[in-house]
Amino acid sequence: MPNKVKHGKRLYKQMAMEVAVRNPERYPEILSVFAKHEGEILNDETILEIYKDLFTSKAVESNKLDVDNSSCEEIKLFIRTSLSHNNEWGFPTGYQAAFTRYLKTLSELGFIYTQYNDKIEISDTAKALLDKRLEVSEAFALQCLRFWRKSPYRRVLNDFNYFSFILKVLLKLKESGHSLSYPQFILSLFSDNGDVSSFIDIIARTKLGNNMDAMYNYIVSNYSDIDELHPKVNKKQTVVNDYGNTVFRVLQLTGLISVENKSGNLLISINENRKDFLLFILNLDFKISEEAKENELQYFREIGKITPQLIESISLYREQESFVLSNYNAVLHKVISDYSLTETKIIDMIKSISSDSNEKLFWYIQKPLKLEFFVSILIYLKYGDEYIVKPNYKADDKGIPYQHAPGNIGDINITSKTTNWLVEVTLIRNKTQQLNNETANCIRHLQQSESETNYLSFVAPIVCLDTEEFYRNALIGMIIQDKDNCYIKAYDINSFVDTTQKRLNLIDMRSYKETIVEQMHNKFA
């Protein structure tokens, strides 16, 4: 029999999600690991096996564990002896409870059913995401608008859908030409009942705007320990940076909001590119039964189901969004203009990513996605007068990215009537992961091009020797096949930036190929 979660008293609390996974784009990787164990009983042995798989797939990482140089048994020993947490969600104290940090959000959003000593189940929505019938932002948008605050997983009295509430707030503010400041967003996390009109009235009356200290003090005065149903508010770091940032990043991953940073003030509004899609899923007006609010399995079954008809409808909105985003150079130009970005500034920001320093202007974009964004801007600054620069990430109506390019296309395409230049960027430094994840797919993307002349630049903080050798051999293979119109080269970030700054990328790749050809001639002579 499965262990039942010991439920405490329900109280009114801040909207929160699991903080262990800072980058919500990692959830699909984590979900794919769980899917491999569908139907298994989630006992200690299974938990250990899944935990090990999370590490070996690099969906989860630890600075204390060298996965590439550790055997499976050594990884399991590390998990058993080094990872522990007090009993939680019905999981006993130890690595079992520590493991819950990677299943909490996926459970609350109805992607998986994972109860201790019970059978693992994967929802219809999760399967549609994993087999590419739904994109990441689509799946998270749908599940966020099904998520219910009062549930078996959160012992709260806040009985409404938070994401529906905050998106309706943004729609209402948009009607009068207003946005929501980040401190006001933090205040929204404390709503007791999800009343849109009441919340808008509060932010209009308080006029605290972008003052986070004043907003936190207001929250403490009005939501902390005011009666037996309102517990003491957490410290500011937890309220803003832990809980607040985590919910914000999940909301951003849906692609339903637009974000801009004005003089250090983060403003949130509706993403006009996806407004029709938002209205469509809001009109589904999802509710859950009273039974589901108390029972984990019933909750999972109600919010995890999806029909082929719904998937088809969602895909139609995807096509509309693609049409809206077709003027790529104009979108990049808008970002450069809005943020007064110069060549020097963007180069400094690119180098700050690879050196792990904190960049403040676009802090809310995850670093791997941020690198694609910044490199696209640099290439546009240098080549936008001659080429169409098409980053394939998903962006809001202000040009700010919220999701990586889908897996079946490259990162950035720079095109003219006769030329296609593909740029693949990554922050992966690990030798094995770089070679496994960032090589064969890049060549496949190049081979799919129908242009007369094709270039591929692979860019990473450090290009491992095995990766460099792979691309060199791929180029040699194309030379042998008489594919004279293909040019390939791997660059570390600094070298790529320097070459781009001089507008020598295509010349450099042609020169590199000529060197390889000459070496081959000399070898066979």
> Tell me, what CATH number does 447's domain have?
3.40.91.50
- Provide the domain count of the chain: 2
pLDDT at position 1 is 46
State whether 275 and 347 are in the same domain: no
User: How buried is 234 (Cβ within 10 angstroms: 0-12 exposed, 13-18 middle, 19+ buried)?
Assistant: middle
Q: What is the domain range of residue 486?
A: 327-524
Residue type, 6: K
Say if 14 falls within a structural domain: no
Is residue 398 within 8 A of residue 386, CB to CB? The reply is no
d(CA 233, CA 239): 8
State whether 339 and 291 are in the same domain: no
- The three-state secondary structure class of 181 is strand
State whether 221 and 134 are in the same domain: yes
pLDDT at position 325 is 55
The residue from 290, 316, 342 where one domain ends is 316
Say if 398 falls within a structural domain: yes
Say if 381 falls within a structural domain: yes
Say if 137 falls within a structural domain: yes
State whether 351 and 287 are in the same domain: no
d(CA 352, CA 426): 14
State whether 287 and 350 are in the same domain: no
pTM value? Answer: 0.90
State whether 334 and 311 are in the same domain: no
Is residue 472 within 8 A of residue 516, CB to CB? The reply is yes
State whether 303 and 210 are in the same domain: yes
Say if 216 falls within a structural domain: yes
The residue from 316, 336, 357 where one domain ends is 316
d(CA 344, CA 347): 5
d(CA 169, CA 166): 5
Rounded (5°) CA angle 320-322-324: 75
- The three-state secondary structure class of 489 is strand
State whether 341 and 456 are in the same domain: yes
pLDDT, mean of each 10-residue run, the chain (525 residues):
62 93 86 96 97 92 88 95 93 96 96 97 97 94 97 94 98 96 97 97 92 95 94 95 94 95 90 94 94 96 95 86 68 94 95 77 89 96 94 91 81 92 89 73 77 91 90 88 86 96 96 91 76
Dihedral angle sign, alpha carbons of residues 469, 471, 475, 480: positive
State whether 390 and 283 are in the same domain: no
Dihedral angle sign, alpha carbons of residues 120, 123, 124, 127: negative
Indicate the length of the chain as a whole number.
525
Is residue 481 within 8 A of residue 474, CB to CB? The reply is no
pLDDT at position 356 is 63
State whether 304 and 334 are in the same domain: no
Say if 183 falls within a structural domain: yes
Residue type, 462: I
Say if 83 falls within a structural domain: yes
State whether 192 and 167 are in the same domain: yes
318-331 in b/e burial notation, b at 16+ Cβ within 10 A? Answer: eeebeeeeeebeeb
d(CA 24, CA 228): 34
The residue from 287, 316, 345 where one domain ends is 316
From the CB of residue 276, how many other CB atoms can be counted at a distance below 10 Å?
Answer: 13
Q: Can you list the alpha helix ranges (DSSP code H) found in 94-153?
A: 95-99, 104-108, 124-130, 136-144
Residue 277 tokens, joined: 């899609």
Bridge partners, 91 (sequence order): 88
Say if 4 falls within a structural domain: no
* Alpha carbon distance, N-terminus to C-terminus of the chain: 74
State whether 101 and 181 are in the same domain: yes
